[in-house]
A and B are shown apart, each in its own frame.
Chain A
Amino acid sequence: MAITINGDAVSVPDDPRVSLLDLLREDLRLTGTKKGCNQGACGACTVLVDGERILSCLALAVQYDGRAITTIEGLGAAGALHPLQQAFIEHDGFQCGYCTPGQICSAVAMVAEARRGVPSHVTGDLDAGAITLTHDELRERMSGNLCRCGAHNGIMAAIAETFAEAAE
């Protein structure tokens, strides 16, 4: 019984009540992933499971046995920032920073979804194939990540610049 977290095998907790979020933060001290609402409303706890974005607060860790989790610590580190982290700095994509790890994990998977043609609420032609990330598409696809500081304009600019080949 093991979950792979940022490349390391980690034992599944004995208590099935432990959320993936609490496993990361409390047991592994990977505190980059944040606990905002703890009820699936804010997106601060977003992590990647086999490349797909999910909310770790609503995930029982025991369900993720055998899966590969990537957190913000697995995307970049001090001195070796992910390009999107660098872009967040350059575009003032945060103030308090609490939503930032979730925003960045979410955006990385969001771009992959758009590349494989997953439609969104604002997609016009459902049969068009790959999605061009217009401003409206970006905002809709990132709507599951709230920013109470109101840094959304910087966040959108950072994502659009980093993934320019997918954006308009």
Chain B
Amino acid sequence: MTPFGYSRAQDVADAVRRGGEAGTMYLGGGTNLVDLMRETIERPTMLVDVTGLSRDITETPDGGLRIGAAARNTALAEDRRVRTRYPVLTRAIVAGASAQIRNMATVGGNLLQRTRCGYFYDDDGSRCNKRAPGQGCDAIEGFNRNHAILGASSACVAVHPSDMCVALAALDAVVHLESSAGPRVLRFTDFHRLPGDHPQIETMLQPGELITAIELPPLPFARRSTYRKVRDRSSYAFALVSVAAAIEIENGRVGAVRIALGGVAHKPWRASKAEAALRGQPANAASFAAAAEAELADARPLKDNGFKIALAKRAIVAVLETLA
């Protein structure tokens, strides 16, 4: 690691005052950032520890939940309100990492995980437009079994690694931010970016901006929701493909529906085309398959990951059949 300073934020105002300085990064549980610093992929000169800021999970006036960004992943997964009202979120969290890592990792930090693309980590031997913008991407012609099939660019084919974020994308969550310019909110689905020409810029965060909370809207039909993750081993592995879904069925037809995919794109992928194809349709296997086809119609396989297209379609159908 390159040398750095360390301080603890006393409150949000204190954090954003310090966080605006050049070379400064916010530190949550450290499960990703400390590793990246050890690999010298991240080289902050100052860390502002924000784990002492709000970790409260509270009811909002409209019947949703507000989650302080310093809440640990385990605390969110085990919260009884989350387990019963947003089971997809609990299921997604406990599908990720290991119990030790979930005990450390914060909710805010989970959003800012960087890709696990092997070429991104290979500082010595590979080209990567995230590590060194403009350098090129060795994944596009390389070993890309784990890489993106949707929304990729000629600059980057990496995928976002989070499970929790796939559930948040499906749940219409909102991200609360704070900077020296004041607070603002972003829809969760607008928080992460597709790679385009600048894959090193992964979110809409401004320099020094801090995630203070995630808000879940009241979504009564999300009581019927779940998360399915397909991976190379049955535990403690990143997703090849994952599906978060919530569905409302009235008189045998699909009412409201929310679907998001993980492991397929540079950001948690809200499956809007599948949702549009499903609304008002009979809640049966034929409708689910047609919706999956609609979502994956734009998929573009790389050399090694064509299997993800069929896998994603089948996973969508399987999850919807589970919920129906």
Contact = CB atoms under 8 A, between A and B. Distances in A.
A144 B236 contact: yes
A89 to B, nearest CB: 24
At the interface, is chain A mostly helix, strand, loop or mixed? Answer: loop
Interface string A95-136: 000000000001001100100111111010011000000000
A121 B1 CA distance: 34
B4 interface: yes
B6 A62 contact: yes
Contacts of A54: 100, 103-104
Between B1, B38, B104, the greatest number of chain A beta carbons within 10 A of the residue's beta carbon is seen for B104
Contacts of B77: 118-119
Interface residues of B, number: 36
B296 to A, nearest CB: 26
A60 B104 contact: no
Contacts of A118: 74, 77-78
A53 B99 contact: yes
A60 B84 contact: no
A38 interface: yes
B275 to A, nearest CB: 24
Given A38-B38, A59-B104, A126-B84, A16 B30 contact: no
B131 to A, nearest CB: 17
B35 A39 contact: yes
Interface of A: 15-17, 19, 38-40, 43, 46, 52-55, 58-60, 62-63, 106, 109-110, 113, 116-121, 123, 126-127, 139-141, 143-145
Pick the 6 closest A-B CB pairs, nearest first.
A144-B98, A143-B235, A16-B6, A126-B83, A143-B236, A118-B78
